Amino acid sequence: MFRSFWTLIAISVCFLVAFSLVTVPAYADFKVGAAKTVITPDPLLPISGGVGPGREATSKKGELTARAMVLEQGETRVAIVGLDLLGFPSVLSNRVRERIRDIPGENILVGASHTHSAPDCYAFPNPATGGHTGDLEYMDFVCDQIVEAIKQAYLNRQPASIRVNTAEAEGRIAYNYYAPDLYDRRMSVIQAVDADHQPIVTLVNYALHPEVLGTGPGIVSPDCIGPMCDKIESEAGGMALFMNGAQGGMVTADNRNLQEPKEDGRGYWQDQRTWEECLRIGHQMADESLRIIKPAKEQSNPDLYCKAEQIRFPVDSPLMWAIITASPLNYPHNDDQSISTQVNLINLGNIQILTIPGEALPNIGFYLKRKMNGKHNVLFGLTNDAFGYIMTEVDYYSFPRYKYISQTSLGEQTGEILIKEGLRLAKEAPQPE
């Protein structure tokens, strides 16, 4: 009787252990949280489309936002932040990193959508006035809102799995202004879902300049990215997040009016710079992202790996060096006329992500994706820094069309260094699942 009693207890314990292994979700160790905050200035500020003074803003369409996604697996935590801004330099990102205690600073990735309808966060020096083009109080406000979004996303984290897929986005979304077909049509979509398989966050990675409106109309706006996020959130649920890709020179939103070619005979068209065109392109992006992610299978408890390194780039451009040394933001720089900036390599399940500290030309993007080691290779452009265009040495000042983007590139070795160091980081990382 005594032996039978303990035998029964042992069988019961084994049954409970086995039952718990069956019922506890396999993805319980992997967590995701998401949150967003508004960064629209009030009152409105001048908007920037590049180096130089901004254009006075007279109205707004949509809200500029900071959208944060926090990933956690065991002791590894990563935050990905997307901003509706032209660019966000590392000197500001570092202010954010210093205020986050629960995530290592080097694991916080801050990227800009590159909308041309938002205030300047570079503080470009203005030789004509002796001042600069930025509003430093607004930049402090943006940092505050990013910190709030990351902290809230961290508090919101919950057990999750991920779904991911990459495919060509269809319809008129983007084109290359310099050579219409020279751009990457592939869209990668990363979606985190909860225990009920409902979206927590949908991240869309695609390369384009969100400049449907541009600075001309004087409208503060997230451009086509705002309508894209709104439609994803209304149709799929959860939060939407956009991270740009290799959109340099000049992969832009396809707002051409193909019925109105310009009269120079060189294959250029008049642009449709309207909010209605923002809605068309943004909604097309949303539709394509949801179509692309639909057949993806869930990856439970995906491995999460994040490596950060400071990469040094020489600065050949007099214009870029003047911005670095004269901006009131006090950009860190080296005595040998170079800068150092953070580059991250992330593995998430079968995805491999490499950050780009500026606007890489499409040929660099195609090459990096072809040589990286994930089933899905993803580039986060304008992330952790925004040091102008990134070109290979054979493109640098090679023909007149590239004069401006060469002037606003750090130098002819920028692309070569990025390729070499980025692929080294990819090679040294664990093989993605």
Weakest-pLDDT range from 5-9, 84-88, 259-263, 381-385? 5-9
d(CA 405, CA 320): 11
**What DSSP string runs through 378-402?**
EEETTBS---BEE--TTTTT-SGGG
Average pLDDT over residues 135-151: 97
Residue 37 covered by a domain? yes
> Residue 114: which H helix or E strand, with range?
none
pLDDT digits (tens, 9 = 90+) for 27-71: 459 999 999 999 999 999 999 887 877 889 999 999 999 999 999
* Helix/strand/coil for 189: strand
**Number of independent structural domains in the chain:** 2
What's the pLDDT score for residue 28? 57
> Do 255 and 339 lie in a common domain?
no
Residue 376 covered by a domain? no
Domain end position, chosen among 284, 300, 316: 300
* CA dihedral angle for residue 233, residue 360, residue 125, residue 178, rounded to 10 degrees: -90
Tell me whether residue 395 is exposed, middle or buried, using C-beta atoms within 10 angstroms of its C-beta: 0 to 12, 13 to 18, 19 or more. buried
> Do 256 and 331 lie in a common domain?
no
Domain end position, chosen among 282, 300, 318: 300
Residue 156 covered by a domain? yes
Q: Does residue 357 or residue 21 have the better pLDDT?
A: 357
What sign does the dihedral 312-187-368-318 (CA atoms) show? negative
Pick from 300, 328, 325: which is nearest to 315 by CA? 325
> Do 110 and 197 lie in a common domain?
yes
- Is 197 one of the annotated binding-site residues? no
Domain end position, chosen among 300, 317, 333: 300
What's the pLDDT score for residue 152? 98
Which pLDDT band, with edges at 50, 70 and 90, does 259 fall under?
confident
State pTM to two decimals.
Answer: 0.92
- Is 209 one of the annotated binding-site residues? yes
What's the pLDDT score for residue 265? 66
Residue 7 covered by a domain? no
Pick from 202, 244, 239, 229: which is nearest to 115 by CA? 244
Angle, vertex CA 405, rays to CA 404 and CA 407, nearest 5: 65
Give the CA distances from residue 219 to residues 66, 82, 140, 291, 316, in Å, rounded to whole numbers and listed in that order.
19, 20, 22, 31, 34
What's the pLDDT score for residue 43? 97
Residue 75 covered by a domain? yes
Q: Does residue 13 register a pLDDT over 50?
A: no
Average pLDDT over residues 405-409: 95
Domain that holds residue 411: 304-355+384-428
Weakest-pLDDT range from 128-142, 150-164, 257-271, 278-292? 257-271
d(CA 47, CA 233): 27
> Do 221 and 324 lie in a common domain?
no
